[in-house]
Chains A and B, each alone.
Chain A
Amino acid sequence: MADVEAYARGEFLGDLVRGQADTEATTRLADKVAALTGIDQALSRRLTGRFGIGDFRREFDRKNAKVTGRYDASVEGFDPTPDATSIDSTIRPAIPCSPR
């Protein structure tokens, strides 16, 4: 994992700083993130490689329509509404007291 950490602190940060207007840097960054996480490359490009926590939870095991736990990615559950645009809109009403 040392190589991933080195990438995150170096090249990755450099490409982030270049901004989304730099399409070459953004594509490079998005493709690398997709390769590292196993998340769909087209989606990674659409999100410009900038994944929020909710994005990762939803897309990490998209193949099986599973979402990961918010505090522990080793816990997975079925995505109740895989067609919804955001994970929060599907999970939050189901768990009234859940933290955001």
Chain B
Amino acid sequence: MQKRMAGSFSGARPSVKLAENCSQTRRLAQEDQPVTSWLSALSLACVVILPLALPPLITARAQDAAPSAQQPATPPAGQKGGGARGRATAGSETSAEQHRLPPDSSTSRWLEKSDRLLSPKFVAGESYGGIRGPRIVRNLQTEQGVGVKGLVLVSPVFDFRDYSGSGSMLQYVASLPTWPRWRAKKRSGHPRRHGRRRGLCARRIPR
């Protein structure tokens, strides 16, 4: 099965788009809906049906991994976004590659068990996911024969020298414009001073 999947999917490079917040992530995922509409309908059906049919452990994962119809097929929690850290495999680290991303077939196993091999698959990564997301996609496509339709990165870190520490002067160039924005925002009325506290996804970041 895996070989067949490799043949049909791994030739195409996944698209990469950057999102600044959760709603953008959902919009990007929507833009990347599969060409045929029956496929997404099938995905949605799977999302609804699967939790009932699978054993408890997988059920929990499926629930975690399928919060909405906008994510046609999300890998199990172990390979998601900021929490995409690979599990430690004691005594089996033979290369740097393995050390950084231990072989983990839970995604492909989950896809196979859930009959989702033909569903469009998106990998979403936030923060550290900027480093891990592309590695996971590469691993899925080259090692596990799982084609990935898109990679969504939310506020990703690509190079820590551009983020903080003493490595690069560009960190100051990148962060300077943000700070006067918050000052202007504060002057025009603190967004949190009145009103209900909203969730992360609902928050609007001023431009």
Q: Are B175 and A53 in contact (CB under 8 A)?
A: yes
In the bound complex, CA of A33 to CA of B183 (Å): 12
- Please tell me the size bucket of the interface on B: 20 to 34
Q: How far is the CA of A50 from the CA of B106 in the complex (A)?
A: 45
Determine whether the beta carbon of A60 is less than 8 Å from that of B192: no
Per-position contact with B for A70-92: 1 when CB-CB < 8 Å, else 0? 00111110000000000000000
B179 touches A60 (CB 8 A): yes
Known: A16-B169, A36-B176, A74-B192. A60 touches B182 (CB 8 A): yes
The residue among B180, B183, B191, B203 with the most chain A CB atoms within 10 A of its own CB is B180
- Residues in chain B near residue A74, CB distance under 8 A: 182, 185, 190-192, 203
**A-B Cβ contacts below 8 A, count:** 61
Number of A residues with CB within 8 Å of any CB on chain B: 28
Kindly list chain B residues whose C-beta atoms are within 8 Å of the C-beta of A61: 186
Residues 45-104 of B at the A interface (beta carbon under 8 Å) = none
B2 at the interface (CB under 8 A from A): no
Q: Which of A33, A52, A53, A75 contacts B176 (CB 8 A)?
A: A33
Distance A9 CA – B175 CA, assembled complex (angstroms): 11
Q: Is B164 an interface residue (CB 8 A)?
A: yes
